[in-house]
Structure formats: C-alpha cells, structure tokens
Amino acid sequence: MSWNPQYRSSKFRHVYGKAASKENCYDNVPITHSVYDNQFCAVNPRFIAVVTECAGGGAFLVIPISQTGKLDPHYPRICGHKGNVLDIKWNPFDDFVIASCSEDTTIKVWNIPQHLLTKSITDAQKDLLGHSRRVGLIEWHPTASNILFSSGYDYKVMVWNIDTKEHTIQTPVRTIGFHTDVILSMSFNTDGSLLATVCRDRKIRIIDPRAGTIFQVFTTTLVLFQCWELCSFLACKESQTVPRDKHPPFSPLNFCQQLKCQNELEKIN
C-alpha cells in the first residue's frame, strides 16, 4: 500500500543558499522604480546591465561581471533615451551588443566597448523608430542573428533587422497587428520557430514569426508572464499570484496549493 501524505513534499526542503559576501556583491546600484512589468536587469557572460533611476530621461548601467563591490556614484551610464528605459536585452550572438526600449517610443541598439567604461555613452549604434506609443518589451530571436522583436502600447509586435547599414531604421521587416490590447509578455520557444504572447485581453497567442500568422490561441484567466519550457510546454501563471517585484521561474513543478497558485499548461502540438 502506497503512502500519500496530505502535505506537499519538496525535493528542495534541505537545500539552502548561502548569501555572497559584501565584496562579491554589486552594492550602491540605483535600481529603477519605473520599469515595465519585466526584469530591470540583463546578464551575459561578460556584463550585468541594470536599469537605473535618473532624472531627465532613461539610463542603464553596464558593469563587468568581475567588478563587484561598491559602485562609484559617478560610474558612466548608457543614457540616450528621452524617457524611462522599460526593458533591456543582450544580443545572444554578441556579448558586446545590447538593446533597450523606452517610454519615448524608440528602441536603441548599443555597442559596449571591451575595455572599462570611462565616460557615458549617448550615441546608439541603431535607432529603431516605428512604434507610436511607448515600447515595453523587446526580445532577440534565439537562432537568427540580429533579428529583434518589440512590442508596444500600440498593440503591435514589430520585427527588426539590425544587420543593415542605416543608423536609423524606420520600417520594420514585419508588423504583427492582431492584438487587441496591451501585450504583457512575449517569448520564443527553443528554436525560435514560435513566439508566444500574453495579452491583456486574456488570450495567449502562439505566433509563427516567419509568416506573421497565428498558430494557436488560448483564452484563459488574466496572465502576466509566460515562458517556454524545453519540453515544448507553455507554462503560465495567473498575474494575481505573481507580485510585480518578484519573478519566480515557471515550470510544471512550481504548483503550490498552500499559496493557491494555479499553473496552466498547454501542450503545443
């Protein structure tokens, strides 16, 4: 006879993390309070980028991974946006290229020098102009180099080709415009063949990014975040159970009755 306990058993009950020493932390970093419903930092093997609080426009810091300890208050920043920076993402094919989007409706692509920053950077490598309202999310294509996706409060997802000679790009490669409300989250599957978006209209759309067509639509309770799992499952969590200042990882194992969390798993055939 098998024994089924009434309480939830955890595989990580006796696993404890150890906080790093102060010398191995990044201290005195002025983190922003006006970020979109997204992460305020991005990390790659060389740098950590953090959106900072500033006046008169948007800015973010780019700090070498090895440069821990207390940050100089006058440390150089990336500050070319006229509005608050809402999202930043590193190029998966180039550790020295980062993209940012802002309330000023623009997307900028920056080249980060290999040496330590000695002065603030104000001139972007590329300026992407196409959205009519603020841009809240950006996402690099995981398998196609220099292809960037953006979504804004104009309910549009735009596809950009960064590998062009023009400094200012005003025409996206493709515009996906069948969303009826603000897009809250978007992410690719592993090979980049499908793009998932979560919209405020309570629909999860699975999109073929190459054709710009809808592959599948799910109507569900209001969700705020979603991510693709390696097993090709799409895991979603209700926005009511996800505080905006905490972004827990999502997987089928994160179901928790004690916290009344509800995971909705849909198999994408």
pLDDT tens track for 243-253: 333 333 433 33
Mean pLDDT within 181-187: 89
Mean pLDDT within 4-23: 72
Look at residue 7 and tell me whether its pLDDT is greater than 70. Answer: no
Bigger pLDDT: 154 or 225? 154
Residue 13 pLDDT grade (very low, low, confident, very high; cuts 50, 70, 90)? confident
Long-range CB contacts (< 8 A, 24+ apart) of 99-103? 99/138, 99/140, 99/148, 100/58, 100/60, 100/138, 101/135, 101/136, 101/137, 101/138, 101/150, 101/152, 102/58, 102/134, 102/135, 103/58, 103/134, 103/135
- Mapping DSSP to helix (H, G, I), strand (E, B) and coil, where does residue 149 land? strand
Mean pLDDT within 224-237: 53
**pLDDT digit string, tens, across residues 60-77:** 999 999 999 899 989 999
Of the ranges 125-129, 142-146, 232-236, which one carries the lowest mean pLDDT score?
Answer: 232-236
The pTM of this model reads 0.79
Q: How far is residue 154's CA from residue 170's CA, in Å, rounded to a whole number? A: 16
Going by DSSP bridges, is the β-strand pair 183-188/126-129 parallel, antiparallel, or unpaired? Answer: unpaired
* Domain annotation for the chain: domains and CATH numbers: 22-177 (2.130.10.10), 184-238 (no CATH)
pLDDT value of residue 250: 39
Look at residue 215 and tell me whether its pLDDT is greater than 50. Answer: yes
Residue 231 pLDDT grade (very low, low, confident, very high; cuts 50, 70, 90)? very low
pLDDT value of residue 148: 96
Mean pLDDT within 49-61: 86
In angstroms, what CA-CA distances link 178 with 106, 181, 197, 235, 237?
A: 21, 9, 11, 22, 23
pLDDT value of residue 14: 76
Bigger pLDDT: 262 or 25? 25
Bigger pLDDT: 138 or 250? 138
Q: What share of the chain in percent tops pLDDT 90?
A: 43
Mean pLDDT within 253-264: 37
In angstroms, what CA-CA distances link 76 with 84, 116, 183, 227, 265?
A: 17, 10, 32, 33, 44
Specify the residue for token string 């200042």: 245
Mean pLDDT within 111-136: 92
Bigger pLDDT: 27 or 267? 27
Going by DSSP bridges, is the β-strand pair 223-228/233-238 parallel, antiparallel, or unpaired? Answer: antiparallel
Mean pLDDT within 162-177: 92
pLDDT value of residue 5: 56
pLDDT value of residue 141: 95
